[in-house]
Amino acid sequence: MVETRKIICTSCPMGCELTVTFDEEKVIEVKGNACPLGTDYAKQEIFDPKRMVASTVRVRNGYHPLVPVYTEKPVPKPIIMDVLAEIRKVEVEAPVSINDVIVENVLDTGINIIASRNLPKA
């Protein structure tokens, strides 16, 4: 069955409104994109939407009580809340360095959760 859906491309801040025509297997047509990124975005968004996820984890003896973390790569949209639950279980000891792996291979996605800043000891 051929379907048409309107989605907004989030590849860049322009936010093109795409009109995507697709069936069960493939995207047939993408309209409204200002650049080729829109076509790739549409394919991904229709069949396997993914998002970057950012949150914080608790830190013992740190300059701040939290260190910000994020997924190295976008994770499948349906498991975002599960990824957050995994992040919430973690507590780390200061110091933390930027890009330190905080959770390895979260939920077997092959994606690491990494720190987005240096956090020295208190």
Partner 1 sequence: MLKKNIYDVVIIGSGPGGLAAAVAAKKEGAEDVLVIERDTELGGILLQCIHNGFGLEIFKEDLPGPSYAQRYIDECLELGVETMLDTIVLEVTPDRKLYTSSTKYGFVEIQARAIVLAMGCRERTRAMIQIPGMRPAGVFTAGTAQRFTNIEGKLPGERVVILGSGDIGMIMARRLTFEGAKVERVLEILPYLSGLTRNYVQCLEDLDIPLQFEHTVKFIHGEDRVEAVEIAAVDKNWNYIPGTEEIIPCDTLLLSIGLIPENELSRQAGVKLDPLTGGPYVDESRETNVPGIFAAGNVVHVYDLADWVTLAGYDAGKSAARYAQSVRVKESSHIPVKAGNNVHHVVPHSINKTNLSDEQIELQLRVRQPVEDTVLIEVHDGENRIARKGALYARPGEMLTVVLKERHFADVEKADSLTVDVNPL
- Choose between 18 and 27: whose C-beta lies nearer to partner 1: 18
Question: Is 65:59 a contact under the CB 8 Å cutoff?
Answer: yes
Query: Which stretch in 22-30, 102-110, 112-120 sits in contact with partner 1 by CB under 8 A?
Result: 112-120
Can residue 16 be called a binding residue for partner 1 (CB under 8 A)? Answer: yes
Can residue 117 be called a binding residue for partner 1 (CB under 8 A)? Answer: yes
Query: Which stretch in 5-13, 21-29, 103-111 sits in contact with partner 1 by CB under 8 A?
Result: 5-13
Question: Is 52:66 a contact under the CB 8 Å cutoff?
Answer: no
Q: Which candidate, 82, 13, 75, places its Cα nearest to that of 44?
A: 75
| Gap between the Cα atoms of 97 and 67, Å rounded | 10
Tally Cβ neighbours within 10 Å of residue 82: 14
Q: How far is the CB of 93 from partner 1 (least distance, A)?
A: 16
| Gap between the Cα atoms of 1 and 24, Å rounded | 7
Pairing of strands 91-93, 54-60: parallel
In the range 37-66, which residues lie near partner 1 by CB under 8 A? Answer: 51-56, 58, 63-66
Q: How far is the CB of 15 from partner 1 (least distance, A)?
A: 3
Which spans of this chain sit near partner 1 (rule: CB under 8 A)?
7-8, 10, 12-16, 34, 51-56, 58, 63-66, 68, 70, 77, 84, 98-99, 116-118
